[in-house]
A and B are shown apart, each in its own frame.
Chain A
Amino acid sequence: MADEKLPAGRPYFHPEGTEASGITRREFLGVAAVGLAAATAAALSPLRQLADFPTLEDWLRKHYTELTPRDKEAIFERIRAQVEKDYGVRPNLTDQPPLDGVMFAYALNIGRCVGCRRCVYACVNENNQSRDPQIQYIRVLKMKKGSIDVETAEHYYEGEVPDPDHYYMPVQCNQCRNPPCVKVCPVKATWPEKDGVVVVDYNWCIGCRYCEAACPYWARRFNFKKPGLPKEELNPNMGYLSNRPREKGVMEKCHFCLQRTRAGRYPACVEVCPTGSRKFGNILDPDSEISNIIRTKRVYVLKEEVGTNPKFYYYFNV
Protein backbone atom coordinates (compact mmCIF):
# COMPACT_ATOMS: atom_id res chain seq x y z
CA MET A 1 0.00 0.00 0.00
CA ALA A 2 2.46 2.50 -1.18
CA ASP A 3 -0.22 4.81 -2.42
CA GLU A 4 -0.51 6.85 0.75
CA LYS A 5 3.13 7.82 0.64
CA LEU A 6 2.86 9.32 -2.78
CA PRO A 7 2.42 13.06 -3.03
CA ALA A 8 -1.05 14.09 -4.04
CA GLY A 9 -1.67 14.51 -7.69
CA ARG A 10 1.50 12.80 -8.77
CA PRO A 11 0.92 9.97 -11.22
CA TYR A 12 1.15 6.64 -9.48
CA PHE A 13 2.29 4.80 -12.56
CA HIS A 14 4.65 5.68 -15.28
CA PRO A 15 3.26 4.65 -18.58
CA GLU A 16 6.35 2.80 -19.59
CA GLY A 17 8.17 1.80 -16.48
CA THR A 18 8.13 0.44 -12.98
CA GLU A 19 7.59 2.54 -9.92
CA ALA A 20 9.33 2.33 -6.61
CA SER A 21 6.49 0.21 -5.27
CA GLY A 22 7.52 -2.48 -7.68
CA ILE A 23 4.38 -3.00 -9.74
CA THR A 24 3.78 -1.83 -13.25
CA ARG A 25 0.66 -0.18 -14.50
CA ARG A 26 -0.07 -3.30 -16.51
CA GLU A 27 0.21 -5.46 -13.40
CA PHE A 28 -1.97 -3.13 -11.40
CA LEU A 29 -4.64 -3.04 -14.07
CA GLY A 30 -4.48 -6.81 -14.35
CA VAL A 31 -4.96 -7.24 -10.63
CA ALA A 32 -7.77 -4.68 -10.57
CA ALA A 33 -9.47 -6.34 -13.53
CA VAL A 34 -9.30 -9.77 -11.91
CA GLY A 35 -10.51 -8.33 -8.62
CA LEU A 36 -13.38 -6.51 -10.26
CA ALA A 37 -14.31 -9.55 -12.31
CA ALA A 38 -14.39 -11.66 -9.16
CA ALA A 39 -16.45 -9.04 -7.35
CA THR A 40 -18.85 -8.83 -10.29
CA ALA A 41 -19.26 -12.57 -10.36
CA ALA A 42 -19.91 -12.57 -6.63
CA ALA A 43 -22.33 -9.66 -6.99
CA LEU A 44 -24.34 -11.71 -9.45
CA SER A 45 -24.37 -14.70 -7.10
CA PRO A 46 -27.95 -14.19 -5.81
CA LEU A 47 -29.08 -15.22 -9.28
CA ARG A 48 -28.20 -18.79 -8.24
CA GLN A 49 -31.52 -18.90 -6.41
CA LEU A 50 -33.51 -17.78 -9.43
CA ALA A 51 -36.21 -20.39 -9.86
CA ASP A 52 -38.77 -18.83 -12.15
CA PHE A 53 -36.76 -17.53 -15.04
CA PRO A 54 -39.00 -17.63 -18.10
CA THR A 55 -38.34 -20.10 -20.88
CA LEU A 56 -37.52 -18.69 -24.29
CA GLU A 57 -41.00 -19.67 -25.46
CA ASP A 58 -42.63 -17.75 -22.63
CA TRP A 59 -40.32 -14.81 -23.00
CA LEU A 60 -41.18 -14.44 -26.66
CA ARG A 61 -44.89 -15.06 -26.17
CA LYS A 62 -46.99 -12.59 -28.15
CA HIS A 63 -49.71 -10.31 -26.82
CA TYR A 64 -52.99 -12.10 -26.12
CA THR A 65 -54.79 -10.36 -28.96
CA GLU A 66 -52.18 -11.53 -31.43
CA LEU A 67 -52.21 -15.20 -30.51
CA THR A 68 -53.65 -17.56 -33.10
CA PRO A 69 -55.95 -20.37 -31.92
CA ARG A 70 -53.05 -22.76 -32.44
CA ASP A 71 -50.68 -20.60 -30.38
CA LYS A 72 -53.30 -20.51 -27.67
CA GLU A 73 -53.79 -24.25 -27.54
CA ALA A 74 -50.05 -24.81 -27.25
CA ILE A 75 -49.77 -22.19 -24.52
CA PHE A 76 -52.77 -23.56 -22.62
CA GLU A 77 -51.27 -27.02 -22.73
CA ARG A 78 -48.03 -25.70 -21.27
CA ILE A 79 -49.95 -23.93 -18.52
CA ARG A 80 -51.97 -27.06 -17.72
CA ALA A 81 -48.78 -29.06 -17.45
CA GLN A 82 -47.17 -26.40 -15.26
CA VAL A 83 -50.18 -26.19 -12.94
CA GLU A 84 -50.30 -29.96 -12.69
CA LYS A 85 -46.62 -29.99 -11.81
CA ASP A 86 -46.92 -27.18 -9.24
CA TYR A 87 -50.28 -28.03 -7.67
CA GLY A 88 -50.82 -31.70 -8.43
CA VAL A 89 -54.16 -31.05 -10.14
CA ARG A 90 -54.90 -30.97 -13.83
CA PRO A 91 -56.79 -27.71 -14.25
CA ASN A 92 -59.80 -27.09 -16.43
CA LEU A 93 -58.22 -24.13 -18.21
CA THR A 94 -60.53 -22.35 -20.62
CA ASP A 95 -60.61 -19.12 -22.54
CA GLN A 96 -64.26 -18.39 -23.10
CA PRO A 97 -64.93 -15.54 -25.51
CA PRO A 98 -67.24 -12.67 -24.52
CA LEU A 99 -70.93 -13.48 -25.03
CA ASP A 100 -72.67 -11.61 -27.83
CA GLY A 101 -74.93 -8.80 -26.77
CA VAL A 102 -73.65 -8.85 -23.22
CA MET A 103 -72.19 -5.97 -21.25
CA PHE A 104 -71.63 -6.83 -17.62
CA ALA A 105 -72.56 -4.46 -14.84
CA TYR A 106 -72.73 -4.68 -11.10
CA ALA A 107 -74.87 -3.10 -8.43
CA LEU A 108 -74.41 -3.12 -4.70
CA ASN A 109 -77.16 -2.31 -2.23
CA ILE A 110 -75.36 0.00 0.17
CA GLY A 111 -78.31 -0.15 2.56
CA ARG A 112 -78.12 -3.94 2.92
CA CYS A 113 -74.40 -4.70 3.14
CA VAL A 114 -73.45 -5.68 6.69
CA GLY A 115 -69.69 -5.73 6.11
CA CYS A 116 -69.16 -9.44 6.83
CA ARG A 117 -66.35 -9.76 4.22
CA ARG A 118 -67.67 -13.07 2.84
CA CYS A 119 -67.30 -11.57 -0.63
CA VAL A 120 -63.62 -10.83 0.02
CA TYR A 121 -62.79 -14.44 0.78
CA ALA A 122 -65.14 -16.00 -1.76
CA CYS A 123 -63.23 -13.95 -4.32
CA VAL A 124 -59.84 -15.02 -2.97
CA ASN A 125 -60.94 -18.64 -2.98
CA GLU A 126 -62.42 -18.53 -6.46
CA ASN A 127 -59.71 -16.54 -8.13
CA ASN A 128 -56.56 -18.18 -6.80
CA GLN A 129 -55.17 -15.00 -5.27
CA SER A 130 -51.95 -15.18 -3.34
CA ARG A 131 -52.48 -15.97 0.34
CA ASP A 132 -48.93 -14.99 1.21
CA PRO A 133 -48.49 -12.14 0.66
CA GLN A 134 -52.17 -11.49 0.88
CA ILE A 135 -53.92 -10.20 -2.23
CA GLN A 136 -57.60 -9.31 -2.11
CA TYR A 137 -59.62 -7.60 -4.83
CA ILE A 138 -62.39 -6.35 -2.56
CA ARG A 139 -61.88 -3.90 0.28
CA VAL A 140 -64.81 -3.31 2.61
CA LEU A 141 -64.90 0.17 4.15
CA LYS A 142 -66.64 0.68 7.45
CA MET A 143 -68.09 4.17 7.13
CA LYS A 144 -69.44 6.48 9.81
CA LYS A 145 -73.13 7.12 9.33
CA GLY A 146 -73.46 10.69 8.16
CA SER A 147 -70.19 10.69 6.25
CA ILE A 148 -69.13 9.71 2.79
CA ASP A 149 -65.48 10.63 3.38
CA VAL A 150 -63.44 7.47 2.80
CA GLU A 151 -60.64 8.93 4.84
CA THR A 152 -62.65 8.36 8.01
CA ALA A 153 -63.38 4.77 6.99
CA GLU A 154 -62.07 1.80 8.93
CA HIS A 155 -60.45 -0.92 6.84
CA TYR A 156 -59.41 -3.26 9.62
CA TYR A 157 -62.52 -3.73 11.75
CA GLU A 158 -63.08 -7.15 13.31
CA GLY A 159 -65.79 -8.89 15.30
CA GLU A 160 -69.52 -8.70 15.03
CA VAL A 161 -71.15 -6.77 12.18
CA PRO A 162 -73.05 -4.61 11.40
CA ASP A 163 -72.19 -1.89 13.88
CA PRO A 164 -75.32 0.25 14.32
CA ASP A 165 -73.35 3.52 14.02
CA HIS A 166 -71.78 2.57 10.73
CA TYR A 167 -72.58 1.47 7.24
CA TYR A 168 -70.38 -0.58 4.97
CA MET A 169 -69.11 0.16 1.51
CA PRO A 170 -67.26 -2.59 -0.34
CA VAL A 171 -65.00 -1.34 -3.12
CA GLN A 172 -63.57 -3.36 -5.99
CA CYS A 173 -62.76 -2.77 -9.65
CA ASN A 174 -65.41 -0.47 -11.07
CA GLN A 175 -64.90 -1.82 -14.62
CA CYS A 176 -64.90 1.76 -15.88
CA ARG A 177 -66.13 2.58 -19.35
CA ASN A 178 -63.29 5.10 -19.46
CA PRO A 179 -60.61 3.21 -17.53
CA PRO A 180 -57.56 5.27 -16.56
CA CYS A 181 -55.57 2.09 -15.96
CA VAL A 182 -55.97 1.11 -19.60
CA LYS A 183 -55.09 4.56 -20.81
CA VAL A 184 -51.81 4.71 -18.91
CA CYS A 185 -50.48 1.20 -19.54
CA PRO A 186 -47.35 1.68 -21.64
CA VAL A 187 -47.63 -1.73 -23.33
CA LYS A 188 -51.40 -2.28 -23.71
CA ALA A 189 -51.24 -5.17 -21.28
CA THR A 190 -54.66 -4.28 -19.89
CA TRP A 191 -57.79 -3.56 -21.91
CA PRO A 192 -61.58 -3.71 -21.73
CA GLU A 193 -63.07 -6.82 -23.31
CA LYS A 194 -66.18 -6.68 -25.48
CA ASP A 195 -68.34 -7.50 -22.46
CA GLY A 196 -66.89 -4.49 -20.63
CA VAL A 197 -64.52 -6.30 -18.29
CA VAL A 198 -61.04 -4.84 -17.94
CA VAL A 199 -58.56 -7.71 -18.04
CA VAL A 200 -54.79 -8.09 -17.73
CA ASP A 201 -52.53 -10.19 -19.93
CA TYR A 202 -50.36 -11.59 -17.15
CA ASN A 203 -47.73 -12.56 -19.69
CA TRP A 204 -47.52 -9.14 -21.27
CA CYS A 205 -47.53 -6.88 -18.20
CA ILE A 206 -44.09 -5.44 -17.46
CA GLY A 207 -44.94 -4.57 -13.87
CA CYS A 208 -44.44 -0.79 -13.95
CA ARG A 209 -47.47 -0.23 -11.67
CA TYR A 210 -48.51 2.90 -13.53
CA CYS A 211 -52.06 1.49 -13.70
CA GLU A 212 -52.02 1.04 -9.95
CA ALA A 213 -51.15 4.71 -9.51
CA ALA A 214 -53.83 5.67 -12.04
CA CYS A 215 -56.72 3.74 -10.53
CA PRO A 216 -58.98 6.02 -8.44
CA TYR A 217 -60.57 2.99 -6.75
CA TRP A 218 -57.40 1.27 -5.56
CA ALA A 219 -58.58 -1.81 -7.39
CA ARG A 220 -55.38 -3.13 -8.90
CA ARG A 221 -52.94 -5.41 -7.15
CA PHE A 222 -49.29 -6.15 -7.76
CA ASN A 223 -47.52 -9.45 -7.16
CA PHE A 224 -44.60 -8.22 -5.10
CA LYS A 225 -43.35 -11.80 -4.90
CA LYS A 226 -44.24 -15.21 -6.22
CA PRO A 227 -47.85 -15.75 -5.15
CA GLY A 228 -48.17 -18.14 -2.20
CA LEU A 229 -51.13 -20.44 -2.79
CA PRO A 230 -51.44 -23.77 -0.90
CA LYS A 231 -51.89 -26.75 -3.22
CA GLU A 232 -55.14 -27.86 -1.64
CA GLU A 233 -56.67 -24.40 -2.02
CA LEU A 234 -56.21 -24.12 -5.78
CA ASN A 235 -59.38 -23.66 -7.79
CA PRO A 236 -58.79 -25.87 -10.84
CA ASN A 237 -61.60 -24.27 -12.82
CA MET A 238 -59.67 -21.43 -14.41
CA GLY A 239 -59.70 -18.95 -17.27
CA TYR A 240 -56.70 -17.64 -19.18
CA LEU A 241 -57.57 -13.97 -18.71
CA SER A 242 -58.92 -14.43 -15.22
CA ASN A 243 -57.95 -16.74 -12.39
CA ARG A 244 -55.10 -18.93 -13.61
CA PRO A 245 -52.13 -18.77 -11.24
CA ARG A 246 -50.21 -15.54 -11.62
CA GLU A 247 -46.51 -14.92 -11.51
CA LYS A 248 -44.28 -12.57 -9.61
CA GLY A 249 -44.00 -9.00 -10.83
CA VAL A 250 -47.30 -8.57 -12.67
CA MET A 251 -50.57 -6.79 -11.98
CA GLU A 252 -53.89 -8.44 -11.36
CA LYS A 253 -57.39 -7.25 -10.57
CA CYS A 254 -61.09 -8.11 -10.33
CA HIS A 255 -62.35 -9.49 -13.65
CA PHE A 256 -65.94 -10.21 -12.63
CA CYS A 257 -64.99 -13.93 -12.40
CA LEU A 258 -64.85 -14.33 -16.19
CA GLN A 259 -64.43 -18.08 -15.83
CA ARG A 260 -67.88 -18.14 -14.18
CA THR A 261 -69.75 -15.22 -15.70
CA ARG A 262 -68.99 -16.05 -19.32
CA ALA A 263 -70.49 -19.46 -18.58
CA GLY A 264 -73.63 -17.71 -17.39
CA ARG A 265 -73.00 -18.00 -13.65
CA TYR A 266 -72.91 -15.28 -11.03
CA PRO A 267 -69.51 -14.07 -9.82
CA ALA A 268 -68.28 -15.64 -6.57
CA CYS A 269 -68.94 -12.46 -4.56
CA VAL A 270 -72.59 -12.38 -5.68
CA GLU A 271 -72.99 -16.09 -5.05
CA VAL A 272 -71.76 -15.81 -1.46
CA CYS A 273 -73.28 -12.54 -0.26
CA PRO A 274 -75.50 -13.54 2.69
CA THR A 275 -77.54 -10.37 2.53
CA GLY A 276 -78.16 -10.41 -1.20
CA SER A 277 -76.66 -6.95 -1.50
CA ARG A 278 -74.69 -7.81 -4.60
CA LYS A 279 -76.34 -7.76 -8.01
CA PHE A 280 -74.92 -8.68 -11.35
CA GLY A 281 -76.06 -9.05 -14.91
CA ASN A 282 -76.27 -7.90 -18.49
CA ILE A 283 -76.88 -4.21 -18.77
CA LEU A 284 -77.76 -4.52 -22.48
CA ASP A 285 -80.77 -6.65 -21.61
CA PRO A 286 -83.52 -4.17 -20.56
CA ASP A 287 -85.31 -6.86 -18.58
CA SER A 288 -82.30 -7.97 -16.56
CA GLU A 289 -82.21 -7.41 -12.81
CA ILE A 290 -79.30 -5.04 -13.17
CA SER A 291 -81.05 -2.90 -15.80
CA ASN A 292 -84.09 -2.74 -13.60
CA ILE A 293 -82.10 -1.59 -10.59
CA ILE A 294 -80.39 1.17 -12.53
CA ARG A 295 -83.74 2.26 -13.94
CA THR A 296 -85.79 2.20 -10.76
CA LYS A 297 -83.40 2.80 -7.86
CA ARG A 298 -81.40 5.74 -6.62
CA VAL A 299 -77.98 4.87 -7.92
CA TYR A 300 -74.56 6.45 -7.48
CA VAL A 301 -71.05 5.63 -8.60
CA LEU A 302 -67.84 6.27 -6.70
CA LYS A 303 -65.79 9.33 -7.59
CA GLU A 304 -67.99 10.33 -10.48
CA GLU A 305 -65.98 13.55 -10.77
CA VAL A 306 -62.97 11.61 -12.03
CA GLY A 307 -64.87 10.85 -15.21
CA THR A 308 -64.25 7.10 -15.24
CA ASN A 309 -67.91 6.22 -15.85
CA PRO A 310 -68.00 2.99 -13.85
CA LYS A 311 -70.18 -0.05 -14.47
CA PHE A 312 -70.21 -0.73 -10.74
CA TYR A 313 -73.17 1.02 -9.13
CA TYR A 314 -74.18 1.53 -5.52
CA TYR A 315 -77.89 1.81 -4.84
CA PHE A 316 -80.28 2.42 -1.97
CA ASN A 317 -83.25 0.39 -0.85
CA VAL A 318 -85.76 2.94 -2.00
Chain B
Amino acid sequence: MAALAACIAAALYFWFDPLGAGERTSEPPAVKPAYYDTTPVRGRLKTALMTEGTPCGTCHDSMDPPAVDPSKRGTFHSQIVLRHGANVRCFNCHNSGKRDFFSGFGGEPIPYSRVETLCAKCHGPHYRDWQQGAHGRRNGYWNTAMGERKTQVCIVCHDPHWPVFKPLRAAPAPRTLRVTASAEEH
Protein backbone atom coordinates (compact mmCIF):
# COMPACT_ATOMS: atom_id res chain seq x y z
CA MET B 1 0.00 0.00 0.00
CA ALA B 2 2.76 2.39 0.94
CA ALA B 3 4.53 1.41 -2.25
CA LEU B 4 1.46 2.11 -4.34
CA ALA B 5 0.91 5.44 -2.59
CA ALA B 6 4.51 6.42 -3.26
CA CYS B 7 4.16 5.49 -6.93
CA ILE B 8 0.94 7.45 -7.25
CA ALA B 9 2.39 10.47 -5.49
CA ALA B 10 5.39 10.37 -7.82
CA ALA B 11 3.15 9.97 -10.86
CA LEU B 12 1.03 12.95 -9.83
CA TYR B 13 4.11 15.06 -9.27
CA PHE B 14 5.50 14.13 -12.68
CA TRP B 15 2.22 14.73 -14.46
CA PHE B 16 1.33 18.09 -12.95
CA ASP B 17 4.92 19.30 -12.88
CA PRO B 18 4.60 21.87 -10.06
CA LEU B 19 8.23 23.01 -10.36
CA GLY B 20 8.51 23.41 -14.11
CA ALA B 21 11.72 23.02 -16.02
CA GLY B 22 13.50 25.71 -14.06
CA GLU B 23 14.10 27.62 -17.26
CA ARG B 24 15.21 31.21 -16.87
CA THR B 25 16.16 33.51 -19.69
CA SER B 26 16.56 37.22 -19.76
CA GLU B 27 14.86 39.29 -22.41
CA PRO B 28 17.57 40.45 -24.79
CA PRO B 29 17.48 43.94 -26.24
CA ALA B 30 15.97 44.30 -29.71
CA VAL B 31 18.43 44.40 -32.58
CA LYS B 32 17.68 47.87 -33.94
CA PRO B 33 18.66 48.63 -37.56
CA ALA B 34 20.73 51.53 -36.22
CA TYR B 35 23.10 48.99 -34.64
CA TYR B 36 24.12 47.61 -38.01
CA ASP B 37 23.62 50.60 -40.31
CA THR B 38 26.42 50.62 -42.88
CA THR B 39 26.11 54.33 -43.67
CA PRO B 40 29.44 56.05 -42.98
CA VAL B 41 29.54 58.20 -39.86
CA ARG B 42 29.40 61.47 -41.83
CA GLY B 43 26.58 60.32 -44.05
CA ARG B 44 26.75 60.14 -47.81
CA LEU B 45 29.51 61.98 -49.57
CA LYS B 46 28.58 65.25 -51.29
CA THR B 47 29.12 65.57 -55.03
CA ALA B 48 31.07 68.83 -54.98
CA LEU B 49 32.64 71.35 -52.63
CA MET B 50 29.58 73.17 -51.32
CA THR B 51 27.97 74.75 -48.29
CA GLU B 52 24.32 74.07 -47.55
CA GLY B 53 23.74 72.89 -51.09
CA THR B 54 25.42 75.84 -52.78
CA PRO B 55 28.71 75.23 -54.61
CA CYS B 56 31.34 77.60 -53.25
CA GLY B 57 32.12 79.04 -56.66
CA THR B 58 28.58 80.34 -56.98
CA CYS B 59 29.46 83.31 -54.78
CA HIS B 60 33.23 83.32 -54.75
CA ASP B 61 33.88 83.23 -58.48
CA SER B 62 32.48 86.75 -58.82
CA MET B 63 33.97 88.05 -55.60
CA ASP B 64 37.39 89.13 -54.47
CA PRO B 65 38.76 87.54 -51.35
CA PRO B 66 37.52 89.56 -48.34
CA ALA B 67 40.14 91.21 -46.22
CA VAL B 68 38.56 90.12 -42.93
CA ASP B 69 38.31 86.83 -41.02
CA PRO B 70 35.70 84.89 -43.03
CA SER B 71 34.32 83.19 -39.95
CA LYS B 72 33.04 86.57 -38.83
CA ARG B 73 31.47 87.32 -42.21
CA GLY B 74 28.27 85.87 -43.55
CA THR B 75 26.31 82.84 -42.36
CA PHE B 76 28.10 80.29 -44.51
CA HIS B 77 31.38 80.29 -42.69
CA SER B 78 30.25 80.89 -39.14
CA GLN B 79 29.46 77.24 -38.46
CA ILE B 80 32.87 75.95 -39.40
CA VAL B 81 34.88 74.76 -36.40
CA LEU B 82 38.47 74.51 -37.44
CA ARG B 83 40.39 72.09 -35.22
CA HIS B 84 42.88 70.60 -37.57
CA GLY B 85 46.01 70.83 -35.45
CA ALA B 86 48.52 73.37 -36.74
CA ASN B 87 46.64 73.59 -40.01
CA VAL B 88 44.65 76.79 -39.34
CA ARG B 89 44.79 78.61 -42.71
CA CYS B 90 41.85 78.13 -45.10
CA PHE B 91 44.01 78.28 -48.21
CA ASN B 92 46.29 75.51 -47.01
CA CYS B 93 43.56 73.32 -48.42
CA HIS B 94 41.10 75.49 -50.31
CA ASN B 95 42.10 76.92 -53.65
CA SER B 96 42.14 80.69 -53.28
CA GLY B 97 41.48 81.21 -56.95
CA LYS B 98 39.11 78.45 -57.95
CA ARG B 99 36.83 78.02 -54.98
CA ASP B 100 35.26 74.77 -56.20
CA PHE B 101 38.65 73.18 -55.95
CA PHE B 102 41.20 72.31 -53.32
CA SER B 103 44.73 73.43 -53.56
CA GLY B 104 47.84 71.41 -54.32
CA PHE B 105 51.37 72.23 -53.15
CA GLY B 106 51.92 74.72 -55.94
CA GLY B 107 48.42 76.12 -55.82
CA GLU B 108 47.23 73.87 -58.60
CA PRO B 109 43.53 72.95 -58.34
CA ILE B 110 42.54 69.57 -56.92
CA PRO B 111 38.98 68.52 -57.81
CA TYR B 112 36.60 67.47 -55.08
CA SER B 113 36.56 63.94 -56.45
CA ARG B 114 40.32 63.64 -55.75
CA VAL B 115 40.19 64.95 -52.18
CA GLU B 116 42.53 62.20 -50.94
CA THR B 117 45.42 63.80 -52.85
CA LEU B 118 44.80 66.99 -50.88
CA CYS B 119 45.04 65.13 -47.54
CA ALA B 120 48.09 63.32 -48.85
CA LYS B 121 49.95 66.62 -48.90
CA CYS B 122 50.52 66.25 -45.14
CA HIS B 123 49.41 62.74 -44.29
CA GLY B 124 51.78 60.74 -46.44
CA PRO B 125 51.96 57.53 -44.42
CA HIS B 126 48.19 57.43 -43.99
CA TYR B 127 47.74 58.05 -47.68
CA ARG B 128 50.10 55.17 -48.43
CA ASP B 129 48.23 52.92 -45.99
CA TRP B 130 44.92 53.96 -47.45
CA GLN B 131 46.10 53.17 -50.96
CA GLN B 132 47.33 49.76 -49.88
CA GLY B 133 44.25 49.02 -47.82
CA ALA B 134 45.59 49.18 -44.27
CA HIS B 135 43.77 52.42 -43.49
CA GLY B 136 40.23 53.44 -44.27
CA ARG B 137 36.99 51.81 -45.07
CA ARG B 138 36.23 49.36 -47.85
CA ASN B 139 32.80 48.20 -48.85
CA GLY B 140 31.31 45.81 -51.34
CA TYR B 141 33.56 43.12 -52.76
CA TRP B 142 36.91 41.90 -51.48
CA ASN B 143 37.17 40.04 -54.79
CA THR B 144 37.10 42.70 -57.48
CA ALA B 145 36.68 40.01 -60.12
CA MET B 146 33.24 39.31 -58.69
CA GLY B 147 32.00 42.82 -57.96
CA GLU B 148 32.90 46.40 -57.27
CA ARG B 149 34.98 47.40 -54.29
CA LYS B 150 34.05 50.77 -52.88
CA THR B 151 37.04 52.54 -51.38
CA GLN B 152 35.79 55.23 -49.06
CA VAL B 153 37.75 58.50 -49.15
CA CYS B 154 39.13 60.37 -46.14
CA ILE B 155 36.31 62.86 -45.68
CA VAL B 156 33.64 60.15 -45.54
CA CYS B 157 34.82 59.43 -42.01
CA HIS B 158 36.87 62.50 -41.09
CA ASP B 159 35.51 66.05 -41.00
CA PRO B 160 38.35 67.92 -42.74
CA HIS B 161 37.90 70.93 -40.45
CA TRP B 162 37.93 68.75 -37.34
CA PRO B 163 39.35 65.44 -38.46
CA VAL B 164 39.53 63.50 -35.23
CA PHE B 165 37.06 60.60 -35.32
CA LYS B 166 34.01 61.61 -33.29
CA PRO B 167 32.76 59.54 -30.35
CA LEU B 168 29.87 57.16 -30.98
CA ARG B 169 27.26 55.64 -28.75
CA ALA B 170 28.09 51.98 -28.33
CA ALA B 171 25.44 49.46 -29.32
CA PRO B 172 24.06 47.63 -26.25
CA ALA B 173 26.23 45.40 -24.09
CA PRO B 174 25.74 41.65 -24.46
CA ARG B 175 23.09 39.98 -22.34
CA THR B 176 23.76 36.35 -22.94
CA LEU B 177 22.19 33.47 -21.08
CA ARG B 178 22.17 34.01 -17.30
CA VAL B 179 24.32 37.11 -17.59
CA THR B 180 22.68 40.41 -16.88
CA ALA B 181 24.13 43.71 -17.98
CA SER B 182 25.28 44.58 -14.48
CA ALA B 183 26.92 41.25 -13.68
CA GLU B 184 30.34 42.34 -14.71
CA GLU B 185 30.34 46.02 -13.74
CA HIS B 186 32.86 46.70 -11.04
Q: Which residues of A contact B (CB under 8 A)?
A: 1, 3, 28, 31-32, 35-36, 38-39, 41-43, 45-46, 99, 102, 109, 112, 114-118, 120-122, 124-126, 131-136, 139, 154-162, 224-225, 233, 261, 263-266, 268, 270-276, 279-282, 288-290, 292-293, 296-297, 315, 317-318
| Residues in B whose Cβ lies below 8 Å from that of A122 | 35-36, 38
Contact assessment for B28 and A42 in the assembled complex, using a CB-CB cutoff below 8 Å: no
Report the separation of the CA atoms of residues A224 and B29 in the bound assembly, to the nearest whole angstrom.
Answer: 18
CB closest chain-B residue, reference A23: B1
Cα-based distance from A115 to B173 in the complex (angstroms): 11
CA distance A297 to B44 in the complex (A): 30
B124 CB → nearest A CB, Å: 13
Q: State how many angstroms separate the Cβ of B142 from the closest Cβ of chain A.
A: 5
Assess whether B7 is in contact with A38, with CB atoms less than 8 Å apart.
yes
B45-53, B101-109, B178-186 - the one binding chain A: B178-186
**Contact indicator B2/A3 (Cβ below 8 Å):** yes
Interface membership of chain B positions 97-127, coded 1 if the CB is closer than 8 angstroms to chain A and 0 otherwise: 0000000000000000000000000000100
CA distance A116 to B166 in the complex (A): 11
Chain A residues with CB under 8 A of B1? 1
Whether A42 and B41, one on each chain, are in contact in the complex, defined by CB atoms closer than 8 angstroms, is no
The 7 A-B residue pairs with the shortest CB-CB distance in the complex, in nearest-first order:
A289-B133, A264-B146, A35-B7, A276-B137, A121-B35, A264-B143, A42-B11
Question: In whole angstroms, how far apart are the Cα atoms of A57 and B135 in the complex?
Answer: 50
**A245 to B142, alpha carbons, bound, how many Å?**
26
**Overall SS of chain B's interface:** loop
Q: How far is the CA of A31 from the CA of B181 in the complex (A)?
A: 54
List chain B residues, Cβ under 8 A from A273: 137
Report the bound CA distance from A39 to B8 in whole Å: 7
Interface residues of B (CB under 8 A from A): 1-4, 6-8, 10-15, 17, 21, 23, 25-28, 30-31, 35-38, 40-41, 125, 129, 132-143, 145-147, 152, 157, 165, 167-177, 181-186
Tell whether, in the assembled complex, residue B171 and residue A118 are in contact, meaning their CB atoms are under 8 Å apart. Answer: yes
Q: What's the Cα separation between A122 and B125 when bound, in Å?
A: 30
Tell me the smallest distance from the CB of A300 to a CB of chain B, in Å.
Answer: 15
Asked whether B177 lies within 8 Å of A134 as measured between CB atoms, the reply is: yes
Pick the contact of A133: B14, B25, B125, B132 (CB < 8 A). B25
CA distance A131 to B36 in the complex (A): 15
A224 to B25 Cα, complex, angstroms: 10
Q: Which one, A116, A134, A264, A282, contacts B175 given CB within 8 A?
A: A134
- Asked if residues A136 and B140 are in contact (CB atoms below 8 Å), the reply is no
Which residues of the other chain, B, contact A158 by a CB distance below 8 angstroms? 170, 172-173, 181
Chain A residue nearest to B20 (CB atoms) is: A46
A264 touches B142 (CB 8 A): yes
Prevailing SS type, chain A contact patch: mixed
Asked, given contacts A35-B7, A265-B147, A276-B157, whether A131 binds B167 with beta carbons under 8 Å apart, the answer is no
Tell me, in angstroms, the Cα distance from A121 to B172 when the chains sit together: 9
A224, A225, A264: most-surrounded residue (chain B CB, <10 A):
A264
CA distance A108 to B31 in the complex (A): 24
- Asked whether A265 lies within 8 Å of B140 as measured between CB atoms, the reply is yes
In the complex where A3-B2, A266-B141 touch, is A224 in contact with B177 (Cβ < 8 A)?
yes
Quote the shortest CB–CB distance from A125 to chain B (angstroms). Answer: 5
Across-interface contacts of A159 in B (CB, < 8 A)? 169-170
Asked whether A42 lies within 8 Å of B167 as measured between CB atoms, the reply is no
Contact, CB under 8 Å: A315 / B12? no
Contacts of B157 in A (CB 8 A): 274-276
Apart from A117-B172, A124-B36, A264-B146, what are 20 other A-B pairs with CB-CB below 8 Å?
A36-B7, A41-B11, A43-B11, A45-B14, A46-B17, A109-B135, A116-B170, A118-B36, A121-B171, A133-B26, A133-B28, A134-B177, A156-B173, A156-B182, A156-B184, A272-B37, A274-B157, A292-B133, A296-B134, A318-B125
12 residue pairs bridging A and B, Cβ less than 8 Å apart: A1-B2, A31-B3, A109-B135, A114-B165, A120-B171, A160-B168, A264-B142, A265-B141, A274-B40, A276-B157, A288-B142, A315-B134
Instruction: Determine if A266 and B138 form an interchain contact, defined as CB atoms under 8 angstroms apart.
Output: yes
B79 → A minimal CB distance (Å): 23
CA distance A125 to B171 in the complex (A): 13
In the complex, A135→B175 CA distance in Å?
A: 9
Would you call A261 and B142 a contact (CB within 8 A)? Answer: yes
Q: Is the CB of B171 within 8 A of A117?
A: yes
Considering the chains assembled together, what is the distance between the CA atoms of A5 and B2 in angstroms?
13
